[in-house]
Chains A and B, each alone.
Chain A
Amino acid sequence: MIPFVLALGALAGLVVLHMLRPFFVPKVVSAARFFRQEDEEASAERRPTLTIPWRSRPFYVQTAAFACLVAALWPQGCRSEGERLGVWLLLDTSASMSTRQAEGRRFDLARAQMERVLDDLGAVGVPVRFHLSTFDEVVTTQGTCLEAEEVRQALGRITERALGTDLAGLRGVLEAPSGPLRPTESSSCPLTHRLVVSDLPAPDWIGELGPEVVWLDVATPVPNAGFVSLVPVRHLLSGKVKAVEVSARTFGSVPGATLKLEDGGGRSVFEQVIDWGGDGSWSRRFELAPGRYVLTIAPGGAYGYDDRAEIEVPADAGAPPRVGRLEELAAAEPVSEPWLVLGRGYGGPEAPIGLFDQRSPLLGGLNLDVAARAGIAGVSLPDGFEPVLTGLGGDGDVWIALRRKPRAVLVPGLPRGSDDGVGRFSARAAANALRWLAAGRPPPALYTLTSAREPEPGGTRLALHPGEGKTDHEPSSRGAMADLRSVRTASKVTHWRRWLAGAVALFLLEQSLLGWWGGWR
């Protein structure tokens, strides 16, 4: 009420101002000398009458500009509620969406679900705008501020990809939309609701995002069997792949699922009906020579990307460790291959142990009493190394040390070859060092995973993304389509900027008319 009274008072003030003190438009005329002071006085006498402002055209423009200004500043007039909806549609395009269930492919079901949402919101009776994104390993914006028909067209172009699902990334995007999806009051396409359609159950954290986030799970439990992992087993010292650990799993019952292993020439290496364990898992180690192999599980169930795997068992174990003295390592720097660095050997005078790192694998199985008697000649700690075993001289009397990147191990010397305690100590120290160096080598790749850059599987590029083949969960949605309609009040549209712009435009118009058209008043 108070703003209303204030506005009326200000409007009355404008009228009075116009009556008492109109804006005088400068006019230069040759007959100016025939205007006299009494003309001014006579005008002043006539000025405070009601008729004068009504006669003035600028008065109406100024009043309209003033009204716009009042509307812009009006506390309640700044906002109007429930006039628009902005729904952000997020569609799961991960590999699991290719799963077949009784009603059809999950991706098709999800797309149909989205189209139902479009139809449903079209009948709400308020303007609706949509933003469309897809998510798998990455979240991709397909379009913002779209009409329903544009969304339908975009959905027709989208299909699932042989990729995994990054739920953590999805959560980050949902919590903090960026770019055009960042909610701002001035946006012409506000973001009022978020709708996720997926074949994954609604995660627990979805409830933290508020009631306007709806998660629809289109999945129903279907049986599936497929590979879970293919892990190379390497020789401890040489690093060569000597076997492959194959793990598979069934979700629901897939009777008669048979694993076949063939080599690159199509010759069968292994074939057996899988005897699933009680938890539905199965694994077996296959000793395989270097070469290409194809593993299949048939029948594989509702999800196809985990039914076949092509792997390459490498013949090369990678670069072997180089052996040399400290001076040779220093001369070869920088190096990329692992180094076994030899110290000044054994056989010197006995020396007590100063420091030792008891957790280090390099000291595994070593008799440190022997070390004290072995007469190890210590060296100064080389750059980049960490001491593992030292004499009393600390960093100036290092016996065993390691460098993590690139890997290198300093040992006192080569194995002595004797059967005494020093011989066994020297052999064990060297073996520990070689094992640690071998463990640091990058594992040979049996296969690669599809990625957002290369989403198509082919050859040894597989789509064995964790969790994608888990097809047996009960559907778990959060919220429903009705929620999108019922929370219309969440949409608040600000108008004050428009009113303010209108006021400015009217003011500029009035001033322009003054400038261009002297007779405007």
Chain B
Amino acid sequence: MSDLVVGRCPLSPRDLQSYRLEQRNRAPRGRSGVHRHRRRGQSLDFREHTAYAPGDDFRHIDWRATARRGRPRQLQDLLVRRYDADEQLTLLISLDNRRTMAPEPRPALKWQAACWLLEAAATMALGGRDRVYLHRLFGPAVRKPVAGSVGDVRRFIADSSRELAAVDAPPELRSLQGLLPPSAVWLIVTDLYFDDPQGRLAAAIRRTLRGPRGVLVVELDSWPHERASIAGGARRVEGPGRDVPVEVVADPDLLAAVGERIESHRRQWLKKAARPGFEHSRWEWEETEKITDPAFAAFFTERFRGDEHLGNLFRRGR
């Protein structure tokens, strides 16, 4: 797998910065889910005015603003100044690094999309001064998970690209301890093709969601593209997780059956992992046989910018 080459992310740091600012000024949709709740606190950064509530510090009442609204008749008419808390949030990004993410050295589109997503999300978080941890979902633990710069992120990608884990490798969860403090968000980038027979990963997600944390699984679904490339004749299908190739006539019935198996597999796992606070995005490839590099870059950009769950990560909570 030493031939795995990850191209440069189509979203430049400048694009990501402007996207982050754009998201920051938008309110999150809904109250639940993986929202980055910046707590109201005591920093010097003014955030907003709110109505007075019992227990609010009288020192924070903004008399001038209150006066501009007219004479206050009750306590709730008083406007209180709110400030951003200075708390540093944590984003843990877990990368599915099994061989199904890159069945062939090139074009390893799925692996490329995963690495781009990791780089873009980490870059945006680092731009917001959040703490970023990087984690490989399978195989040995990352020696130094914290990423202080975009360079650390790219080194992580390069290290991960050197050798992918076996398809049946168990999830590496031990190193997660201490990486998911309260208010942390766990972003998992995967194709959901892994087996989790003992439910360890799903259990870890459930445990994570017991506290004030969020989990977002971004599923990279390349099956439509692979289906288009297989369809139409006699095929000797081989790939990760299959020791002996299988010879089939890839007619629509057969492909529908395979698609149903994939769907069932992912549904079962999602069902095990789903709890309040768990969110899931599915990035479905286009059903075309060939995907050019520019088209794939456009596909990634569109999905990244259009993903509401990802966008919520960088919006202000209320």
Contacts and interface: CB of A to CB of B under 8 A. Distances in A.
A33 interface: yes
Nearest to A47: B249
A285 interface: no
A27 B249 contact: no
B229 A518 contact: yes
Chain B at the A interface: SS class: mixed
Contacts of B236: 24-27
Interface in A154-198: none
Contacts of B193: 30-31, 33-34
B167 A31 contact: no
Interface in A241-264: none
A521 B230 CA distance: 9
B249 A32 contact: no
B100 A30 contact: yes
B254 interface: yes
B103 A39 contact: no
5 contacts: A29-B103, A30-B239, A39-B258, A46-B249, A46-B251
Contacts of A31: 100, 193, 222-223, 226, 239, 258, 262
Contacts of B232: 519, 521
B234 A521 contact: yes
A25 B235 contact: yes
A25 to B, nearest CB: 5
B57 interface: no
B246 interface: yes
B197 interface: no
Contacts, number: 115
Contacts of B254: 39, 42-43
B73 interface: no
B119 interface: no
Interface residues of B, number: 40
Specify which of B226, B239, B241 lies most central, judged by the most chain A CB atoms within 10 Å of its CB: B239
B125 interface: no
A521 to B, nearest CB: 3
Contacts of A33: 100, 167, 193, 239-242
B248 A28 contact: no
A87 B223 CA distance: 67
A35 interface: yes
Contacts of B240: 30, 32-33
A27 B235 contact: yes
Interface in A25-67: 25-37, 39-40, 42-43, 46-47, 52, 55-56, 58
A23 interface: yes
Contacts of A25: 233-236
B247 A29 contact: no
Given A25-B234, A26-B236, A35-B248, 16 more contacts: A24-B247, A27-B237, A27-B238, A29-B103, A30-B103, A32-B240, A32-B246, A33-B239, A33-B241, A36-B261, A37-B246, A39-B246, A39-B258, A56-B233, A519-B231, A521-B234
Contacts of A46: 249, 251
A415 interface: no
Nearest to B241: A33
A58 B235 CA distance: 13
B249 A29 contact: no
Given A29-B103, A39-B258, A521 B242 contact: no
A22 interface: yes
A55 B232 CA distance: 8
B228 A34 contact: no
Interface of B: 100-104, 110, 167, 191, 193, 222-223, 226, 228-242, 245-249, 251, 254, 257-258, 261-262, 265, 289
A431 to B, nearest CB: 104
A24 B110 contact: no
Given A35-B246, A37-B246, A43-B247, A29 B226 contact: yes
A24 B237 CA distance: 9
A31 B242 CA distance: 9
Contacts of B235: 24-27, 521
A30 B242 CA distance: 10
B102, B233, B262 interface centre (most CB from chain A within 10 Å) = B233
Contacts of B246: 32, 35-37, 39-40
Contacts of A40: 246-248
Contacts of B245: 26, 32
B226 A30 contact: yes
A37 B258 CA distance: 12
A32 B239 contact: yes
A33 B241 CA distance: 5
Nearest to A23: B234
CB-based closest 5 A-B pairs: A32-B239, A521-B233, A33-B241, A22-B234, A24-B236
A427 B207 CA distance: 145
Contacts of B233: 22, 25, 55-56, 58, 521
Nearest to B249: A43
A59 to B, nearest CB: 10
Contacts of B265: 34
Contacts of B101: 30
Contacts of A30: 100-103, 110, 191, 193, 222, 226, 239-240
Contacts of B261: 34, 36
A32 B289 contact: no
Contacts of B191: 30
A96 B167 CA distance: 96
B242 A39 contact: no
A100 B240 CA distance: 95
A10 B289 CA distance: 35
B222 A519 contact: no
Interface string A413-449: 0000000000000000000000000000000000000
B239 A28 contact: yes
